[in-house]
Amino acid sequence: MADTSTPAAPSSPSGCLSQEEVSRLRSAQAGDVPEELARHLAGCDLCQERVLFGPARRTRRRREMPPMPSSTRALVLLAVMAAVIVAFFITLNSLVGRL
Ligand SMILES: [Zn+2]
Distance 63 CA to ligand 1 centre (A): 27
Question: What is the C-alpha to C-alpha distance for residues 6 and 3, in angstroms, rounded to an integer?
Answer: 9
Which residues, at least 6 apart from 59, have a Cβ–Cβ distance to it below 8 Å? none
The 10s digit of each residue's pLDDT in 23-48 is: 888 888 878 888 888 889 899 988 88
Domain boundaries, the chain: 19-53, 69-99
DSSP 30: T
DSSP 98: -
Distance 5 CA to ligand 1 centre (A): 17
Q: Is the CB of residue 41 less than 8 Å from the CB of residue 51?
A: yes
* Residues, beta carbon < 5 Å, ion ligand 1: 16, 44, 46-47
Res. 79 pLDDT band, cuts 50 70 90: very high
pTM > 0.95: no
Question: What is the C-alpha to C-alpha distance for residues 72 and 69, in angstroms, rounded to an integer?
Answer: 8
